[in-house]
Structure 1
Amino acid sequence: MNAAADEDVFAALAARRAAPGAEPVALAVAEALARRAAAAEGETRRLLLARLQRRIDAISNVPAVPEAASAPPPWAGLCSLVDRLGRAEAPPPRSQVRAPAPPPLKTVAALQPTVGRLKTEHRLRQARAQVPENAGPLHSSRVVHRMLQTLHADAPAYLQALSASVEALAELERAFEASLRPAGRESRGEKRRQR
Structure 2
Amino acid sequence: MRPERGPLGRIADELAARPSSYPVLPVLDEFQKIWSRMRTESQLRQSLQEAPENAGPLNSSALVHRSIAMMRDLSPGYLQHFVSYVDDLSSLEQLGHSGPAAPRDVPQAATIGKRPRAKKARTRGE
Residue 108 of structure 1 and its aligned partner are, at CA, apart by 2.8
Give TM-score, length-normalised by structure 1.
0.39
Say if 2:95 is the partner of 1:165.
no
**Aligned twin of 1:142:** 62
Contact residue 151 and residue 158 of structure 1 kept, 8 A? yes
Instruction: Determine which structure has the larger helix proportion and give its number.
Output: 1
5+ residue gaps in structure 2? 103-126
Q: AA paired with 1:135?
A: A
Residue 92 of structure 1 and its aligned partner are, at CA, apart by 4.4
Residue 181 of structure 1 and its aligned partner are, at CA, apart by 4.7
**Which of the numbers 177, 182, 190 marks the counterpart of 2:97?**
177
Q: What is the DSSP-based 3-state SS (H/G/I as helix, E as strand, rest coil) of the residue aligned with 2:77?
A: helix
Residue 122 of structure 1 and its aligned partner are, at CA, apart by 1.7
- C-alpha separation in 1, matches of 2:25 and 2:101: 37
Q: What is the DSSP-based 3-state SS (H/G/I as helix, E as strand, rest coil) of the residue aligned with 1:138?
A: coil
Q: Structure 1 residues 135, 104: closer, same or farther in 2, change over 3 A?
A: farther
Please give the per-residue CA displacement for 1:44-97, whole angstroms capped at 9, x wherever unaligned.
Answer: xxxxxxxxxxxxxxxxxxxxxxxxxxxxxxxxxxxxxxxxxxx7444548xx89
Give TM-score, length-normalised by structure 2.
0.55
Please give the per-residue CA displacement for 1:1-36, whole angstroms capped at 9, x wherever unaligned.
Answer: xxxxxxxxxxxxxxxxxxxxxxxxxxxxxxxxxxxx
Moved over 6 A (4+): 96-99
Q: How many residues align?
A: 94
Larger Rg: 1
Higher relative contact order (CA 8 A, sep 6+): 2
Q: Structure 1 residues 107, 158: closer, same or farther in 2, change over 3 A?
A: same
Percent of aligned pairs with the same amino acid = 33
1:1-195 aligned at under 5 Å gives the runs: 88-92=4-8, 102-103=22-23, 105-181=25-101
- C-alpha separation in 1, matches of 2:86 and 2:96: 15
Tell me how large the CA RMSD over aligned residues is: 3.2
Q: Structure 1 residues 108, 89: closer, same or farther in 2, change over 3 A?
A: closer
